[in-house]
Chain A
Amino acid sequence: TQLLEQSPQFLSIQEGENLTVYCNSSSVFSSLQWYRQEPGEGPVLLVTVVTGGEVKKLKRLTFQFGDARKDSSLHITAAQPGDTGLYLCAGLNNNAGNMLTFGGGTRLMVKP
């Protein structure tokens, strides 16, 4: 069983602050995805990272895939209240089945 550990589980910050969320595993993944989930809704894909060391930017969000493809991070610059939500990382291993394994999530609250 491949496990993904996310940290921190909860994060409460002020508007304008920076933050980093981590997603770690002892397993290698073919790709890793970051989703955002609002209460009562399904996860919505933010980004997919595939290559070890890859960095992708989505406005104020920067996603990085570790060189060994076992870990990833999400950095948010100058957080805004609209960034509030549950951030989920999920790993896919094409050599070990067809399903996406989710981390436990990081619940972010950005206070104005």
Chain B
Amino acid sequence: EPEVTQTPSHQVTQMGQEVILRCVPISNHLYFYWYRQILGQKVEFLVSFYNNEISEKSEIFDDQFSVERPDGSNFTLKIRSTKLEDSAMYFCASRYDRAAGELFFGEGSRLTVL
């Protein structure tokens, strides 16, 4: 069964360092998302991506964040200069089209900023 895969599963970094989280969405899906979940809190929307550009982003997704789909299969989230409060689980998701509401989530990447 097709699935969304994410790497790394866990990354520990020092405050101020750059981090890139990688995702391979389901191959025929057209919409891509990043969500995050701080420990014990709700799943929060960060950004959606369609047709090689950002379609929506939340207030969390500030200038420190960027997304890219460099090669048609990977979908990456870059945090330019990590802060302690960026520590969270980051989930990538994809869906086939706008009418089909189901999002398929990856297993997540746990980011720990020290």
Contact yes or no, B33 A99, CB < 8 A: yes
Chain A residues with CB under 8 Å of chain B are 30-31, 33, 35, 40-45, 48, 50, 88, 90, 92, 94, 97-105
Docked CA distance A92–B105 (Å) = 15
Chain B interface size range: 20 to 34
Of the candidates A43, A44, A88, A105, the one having the most CB atoms from chain B within 10 angstroms of its own CB is: A43
CA distance A59 to B33 in the complex (A): 30
Is there an interface contact between B102 and A43, defined as CB atoms closer than 8 Å? no
Q: B54 → chain A, closest Cβ, in Å? A: 10
Any chain A CB within 8 A of the CB of B31?
yes
A48/B33 in contact, CB under 8 A: no
A residues within 8 A CB of B44? 102
Residue of B with least CB distance to A49: B101
Contact A98 B101 (CB under 8 A): no
Closest to A30 in B: B101
Is the beta-carbon distance between A99 and B42 smaller than 8 angstroms?
Answer: no
Inter-chain contact A102/B43, CB cutoff 8 Å: yes
Which residues on B sit within 8 Å (CB–CB) of A99?
Answer: 33, 45, 48, 56, 58
Min CB–CB distance A36 → chain B (angstroms): 11
Task: Out of A30, A35, A40, A100, name the residue touching B45 (CB < 8 Å).
Answer: A100
Q: Is the CB of B108 within 8 A of A48?
A: no
Closest 4 CB pairs of A and B: A42-B105, A102-B43, A31-B101, A104-B42
B86 on the A face (CB < 8 A): no
For A100, list chain B residues within 8 Å (CB): 33, 45, 93, 101, 103
Residues of A within 8 A of B65 (CB): none
User: Of all chain A residues, which has the CB nearest B58?
Assistant: A99
CA distance A90 to B110 in the complex (A): 22
* B42 interface neighbour in A41, A94, A103, Cβ under 8 Å: A103
